[in-house]
Amino acid sequence: MFIDLPSELEADLVGHSLPPWRLDGPFLAKSTMDEYRIELTATPWFEEVAATLHHSLNGENGGYAVLRLGSLAKALGADDRFLRLVTAFAAEVAVPFSPFPRWPLWKDIGVKVGKDPGKSSGIGYNALHMDLVNGSLPPDYTTLLCVRPDPLGGGPSILSDPHAAVARLSENSRALLAEPAYHYGTFFDLHGVGAEYKPFPVLDGIDPGGFVRFTAKMLERSPLGRAHADAARELADELVRGQVSFMLQPGDYLIVNQRRFLHGREALHIGQETVPVADRRLLLQVFLRAGAASGPAA
């Protein structure tokens, strides 16, 4: 699931300067996607890497990938040139978009020591979840670009296959999780993710391509009946039992197929208040919507 770029491709990409992107509403404009693709498919090894990326995300036993772009980040710095190249790779998977009108295409996820520790920008354990779980049309992919890891060494990413976890549950628990009894979070001023879905079933569709609409945070922050809470807690335990973890390095680009994997993060190392804000962990996030303009088939 870790994809290194061939040295020839890295050398060629350092010399590329893609034009600024354009948006069509919340989505990256098709004209920009076409422009980026024409530019980069002329580069040796680009299409091979894109095909490997597709297979890692959508092929049998796939579901997530980490594109190792550290050498590019070091050569170019975390500036617009580098971010446009990352956007071009994202556009090979699906259509990049931002559901948040008040944010640019890429959203900063920094570290705020005074925030709820369980939030993405908090310092605590960020439990396994699906992003925008309460939208009727959640992003097909969520992606995170590591600009800086935790300088104190904490915060490894965690991922787990929810379909494998569900298969280990009792028939009664699966039946409860298929009922629209769950809800989590607020929903306002969002674009491109449908309408609010409340209440929702955790098992959203019986086919393997359906979402498992789960966030462990709803166990503590949403009122649930005992039976439904117990079923969700059983699923949470199975997810943790089957999780994998790894530390993102500068330039690592994590892409998660939300129909196949849930993601989260272990707690950051203690002592974050001693780290200058400019040196704290920093990720950039963009979401992807599958569609006809999302590049070659897997």
Class of the 2-161+241-289 domain? alpha beta
Are 32 and 40 a contacting pair, CB within 8 Å? no
Model confidence, pTM: 0.95
Helix (H) or strand (E) holding 227: helix 226-241
Amino acid 207: pLDDT = 59
**298 residues of the chain, pLDDT tens digit each:** 899 999 999 999 998 899 999 999 999 999 999 999 999 999 999 999 999 999 999 999 899 999 999 999 999 988 899 999 999 999 999 999 999 988 899 999 999 998 889 889 999 999 999 999 999 999 999 999 999 999 999 999 999 999 999 999 999 999 999 999 999 988 988 999 999 999 999 998 755 578 999 999 999 877 899 999 999 999 999 999 999 999 999 999 999 999 999 999 999 999 999 999 999 999 999 999 997 433 333 3
Residue 196, both tokens = 């609010």
* Alpha helix positions (H), 15-124: 30-41, 46-58, 70-76, 80-93
Sequence ranges of the domains in the chain: 2-161+241-289
**CB burial of residue 170 (10 Å; 0-12, 13-18, 19+):** exposed
Amino acid 293: pLDDT = 39
Residue 90, both tokens = 């994202």
Scan for tokens 């095909």, then name that residue: 51
User: β-pairing, 262-265 with 126-129?
Assistant: antiparallel
Phi and psi, residue 291, nearest 5°: -175, 180
Please give the single-letter amino acid code of residue 116: D
